[in-house]
Amino acid sequence: MMKLYKPLCFLFCFLLCISCCLCASAAQIETEKTVDLSLRFAPHDTPAVGVQYRLYRIADVSQDVRFSYVSPYSSYPIAPVGNTTDQWRNLARTLQGFIASDGIAADHTAVTDSNGSFRTDGLPTGLYLLTGDPITIDKTVYTPQPFLLCLPVQAGDTWTYDVHIDAKYDEYPADTERTVQILKVWQDQNSPQRPIQATVALYGDGKLYETVVLDKNNNWKHTWKNLSAMTVWTVNEVDVPEGYIVSVGQEHGLFGVVNSVPSDDEGSTNEPSTIPDDEPTTTPTEEPTTEPDGEPELPNTGLLWWPVPVLVFGGLVFIVAGITRRRGKQDEE
């Protein structure tokens, strides 16, 4: 056994190096490649025909999934790309408001065909915001939800560059009018630097509808009634106070405009991001996976797990060889 000690050490180290290389390569994005994207918008399996979609590339993505905002989004007072579904949804709503306010043109546009689908090839890797126009089908208005999408998409232990997704949507009766309410929220621990008022703008289909001033006299909120259900309504804070960042969340007709004071490391991109699992990022060859009841779902980091049992076995052999060698030396003494 002692004669096998050195060869076993060499074999174990070799397996360790190979496994580390494979794990690292599996987790990396090939940023120089392009991505082909297909999207289908079919409410209740009915194809939505002739719907225009807009794609905005808002951030670069590194090989190890670190996002860096590109211009003009890098100049906005917003938090870095988060790791949770709520953070991604709120960031999508926030960016949608800035896009309406500044009249930013989409990087790519597409229109759904007779199957409710479109395909766009040759997209650079990065983080995208996708928005779409509403459509009326059988007296119901279906409005695509704005969402963030990382291209390429993580599929198990690899990244896929041919992406197929199904759009999510909100629906409203076409013959009813909508109510939109804005609520201003401060998360600054009652800072003395908090402004006494804030100005918020409502946009309909990217055009300014009205600007209102919120303060303690109106309880930091405002409500609009009798609005069209066929219009995409977005909000944006005008002149975010210095030292604050803004985030916009939406729950049906309620928009929450949150101002918070960023922490010292708020803008850091040192840590790789985790892609939220329930974003609409499915491929036709992937089957959905479910976790057992009562067990938390672990985030997918893109690492290979097959080397783990190999390394465990190699480690056990290494330990047994070491113990045997030590006993042999003790017997000689």
Q: What is the pLDDT along the chain (333 residues), one digit of tens a residue?
A: 555 555 555 555 555 555 555 444 456 999 999 999 999 999 999 999 999 999 999 999 999 999 999 999 999 999 999 999 999 999 999 999 999 999 999 999 999 999 999 999 999 999 999 999 999 999 999 999 999 999 999 988 899 999 999 999 999 999 889 999 999 999 999 999 999 999 999 999 999 999 999 999 999 999 999 999 999 999 999 999 999 999 999 998 999 999 999 876 655 555 677 778 665 644 433 333 333 333 333 233 344 444 545 555 555 555 555 555 555 555 555
Q: In sequence order, what are the beta bridge partners of 297?
A: none
Sequence ranges of the domains in the chain: 36-260, 303-333
Instruction: Give the integer Cα–Cα distance in Å for 277 and 160.
Output: 15
Question: What's the whole-model pTM score?
Answer: 0.77
Report the helix count and the strand count for the chain, using DSSP H and E: 3, 20
Q: Which residues 6+ apart lie within 8 Å of 65 measured at CB?
A: 27, 29, 150, 272, 273, 274, 275, 302
pLDDT tens for each residue of 312-329: 555 555 555 555 555 555
pLDDT tens for each residue of 71-86: 999 999 999 999 999 9
The DSSP annotation for 105-131 comes to PPSEEEE--TTSEEEEEEEESEEEEEE
CATH topology of domain 36-260: Immunoglobulin-like (2.60.40)
